[in-house]
């Protein structure tokens, strides 16, 4: 419909979510986790944005701005919910949200339109999708006339973990008077009592041209450097890669600091639309407990969990039975290779453990035992001095790279499905219970030619078993140097 407001949803998906360790890790951060229900936080965000369509609002396929390491995970999770993105913009390095939104705005203007951008982080949750949709649609209509609109969360407690927005009543939508940093408990209580304050959700609605104009007004250095990286971008299917060297010179800054906090009292019309929809940014395990389904004792449990005489406690189990007796106000998170036990009120401090792991050069802050790859996944189920055992799953029609290893040999045993094995100049088909041997230094490849998932057990043996002992010759996913 020609009179419809063009809308381009943008999901910021570059976060690392260190406060939700050990479930969230650099290789599989919190936005891709399923914490409640059947969909990841990223998938929930995409589905909410797709629901914005109305007779006067035309929503285009979304744009994702994120980390290149997560590009195939992004596409796979969108495929699962039957969404195809306009583009996935791959930041060569993290530069915070202002440059990320600038990339999205530049992409938005590519088609010759000036759409309204609906910008949201990938890691939030909403209990009332209908209220969310109504608030966003109102924001889109206001932003279509040139305003900058921010979603303000109606506070239900004196929260010290969020920034606040002070707004004043005005026709159409409240006018933002100022932004307030995260307050102490006494100040937060006063804000709640006074009224006129909302939490800053980090969700913004504005035209692409308005964002670029405001950025050039307040942070021309970010605008210029990001445009330079965009000018030398490369396209690879739906992936768009800004220039790596140029993007390294982009100053790191948030949307709030770069632009939003500068707008009140200037020529820019900045408005606040309240959102009362059971919103949470799930910034730490305490927020996950608050948003979860609880029993009569205030306990929230996910997985194989048994609790006795425990209260106000969160237990998240992924691979085994976890039980508690006589505890209160704690968090227990179990994964295959790490367990977290924390005072629920101090769950923000989990990032200190992650920092210590990184400082010691350990891998638990980066990867899970089960590692997702564009072709499927592998799970490192056992290892010793000169051996490692992996369980490997390959999607139908997918294949690993044509590769070789300098330091290890491999034995493959098919558990389910059909394996097409390239080993040197030979190619063979293996079915259930059949096996083969890949000698050290031999060029090889594993593929799944069938219509069902292929699962194998791989036994590696050799002097070095690290994942970096791979020389790739051909690869479907662009991983050849």
Q: Is 13 exposed, middle or buried (0-12, 13-18, 19+ CB in 10 A)?
A: buried
Q: Would you say 421 and 445 are in contact if contact means Cβ atoms under 8 Å apart?
A: yes
Contact assessment for residue 31 and residue 77, using Cβ atoms and an 8 Å cutoff: no
Using a 10 angstrom Cβ sphere, with 0-12 exposed, 13-18 middle and 19 or more buried, the burial of residue 393 is buried
> Per-residue pLDDT tens for 67-110?
988 998 999 999 999 999 999 999 999 899 999 999 999 999 99
pLDDT in tens, 461-481: 999 988 889 999 998 887 765
Report the sign of the C-alpha dihedral through residues 170, 171, 173, 176, in that order: negative
CA-CA distance, 392 to 414, in Å (whole number)? Answer: 10
The structural domains of the chain, ordered by start, are 5-280 (3.90.550.10), 285-358 (no CATH), 370-474 (2.60.120.10)
Q: For residue 194, what pLDDT is reported?
A: 87
- Nearest-angstrom CA–CA distance, 303 and 445: 36
Q: How far is CA 236 from CA 14, 89, 90, 98, 242, in A?
A: 19, 10, 11, 24, 11
Task: Tell me if residue 234 falls in helix, strand or coil.
Answer: strand
Please give the average per-residue pLDDT across 250-264, as a whole number.
93
**Before 22, cis peptide (omega within 30)?**
yes
Residue 2's pLDDT band, with cuts at 50, 70 and 90, is: low
Mean pLDDT over residues 177-182, rounded? 88
- pLDDT tens digit string along 378-427? 999 998 889 999 999 999 999 999 999 999 999 999 999 999 999 999 99
């Amino acid at each position: 419909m020609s009179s419809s407001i063009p809308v381009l949803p943008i999901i910021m998906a570059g976060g690392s979510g260190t406060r939700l360790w050990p479930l969230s890790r650099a290789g599989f951060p919190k936005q891709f986790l399923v914490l409640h229900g059947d969909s990841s936080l990223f998938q929930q965000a995409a589905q909410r944005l797709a629901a914005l369509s109305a007779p006067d609002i035309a929503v285009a396929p979304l744009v994702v701005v994120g980390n290149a390491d997560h590009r195939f995970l992004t596409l796979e999770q969108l495929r699962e919910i039957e969404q195809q993105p306009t583009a996935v913009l791959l930041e060569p390095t993290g530069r915070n949200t202002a440059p990320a939104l600038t990339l999205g705005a530049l992409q938005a203007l590519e088609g010759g339109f000036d759409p309204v951008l609906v910008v949201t982080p990938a890691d939030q949750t909403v209990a009332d999708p209908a209220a969310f949709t109504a608030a966003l649609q109102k924001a889109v209509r206001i932003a279509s006339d040139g305003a900058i609109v921010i979603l303000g969360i109606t506070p239900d407690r004196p929260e010290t973990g969020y920034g606040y927005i002070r707004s004043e009543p005005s026709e159409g939508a409240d006018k933002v008077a100022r932004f307030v940093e995260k307050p102490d408990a006494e100040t937060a209580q006063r804000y709640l009592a006074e009224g006129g304050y909302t939490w800053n959700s980090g969700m913004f609605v504005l035209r692409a041209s308005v964002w670029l104009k405001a950025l050039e007004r307040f942070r021309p250095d970010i605008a210029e450097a990001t445009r330079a990286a965009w000018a030398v971008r490369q396209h690879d299917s739906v992936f768009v890669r800004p220039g790596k060297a140029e993007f390294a010179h982009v100053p790191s800054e948030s949307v709030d600091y770069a632009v939003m906090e500068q707008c009140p009292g200037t020529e820019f019309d900045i408005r606040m639309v309240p959102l009362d929809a059971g919103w949470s940014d799930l910034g730490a395990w305490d927020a996950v407990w608050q948003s979860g389904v609880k029993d009569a004792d205030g306990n929230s449990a996910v997985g194989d969990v048994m609790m006795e005489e425990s209260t106000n406690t969160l237990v998240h189990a992924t691979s085994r039975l976890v039980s508690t007796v006589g505890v209160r106000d704690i968090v227990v998170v179990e994964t295959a290779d790490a367990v977290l036990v924390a005072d629920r009120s101090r769950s923000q401090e989990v990032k200190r453990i992650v920092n210590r792991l990184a400082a010691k050069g350990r891998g638990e802050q980066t990867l899970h035992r089960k590692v997702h790859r564009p072709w499927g996944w592998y799970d490192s189920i056992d290892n010793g001095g000169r051996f490692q055992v992996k369980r490997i799953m390959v999607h139908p029609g997918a294949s690993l790279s044509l590769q070789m290893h300098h330091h290890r040999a491999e034995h493959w045993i098919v558990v389910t499905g059909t394996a097409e094995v390239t080993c040197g100049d030979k190619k063979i088909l293996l079915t259930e219970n059949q096996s083969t041997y890949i000698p050290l230094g031999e060029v090889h490849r594993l593929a799944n030619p069938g219509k069902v998932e292929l699962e194998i057990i791989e036994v590696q043996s050799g002097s070095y078993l690290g994942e970096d002992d791979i020389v790739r010759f051909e690869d479907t996913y662009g991983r050849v140097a």
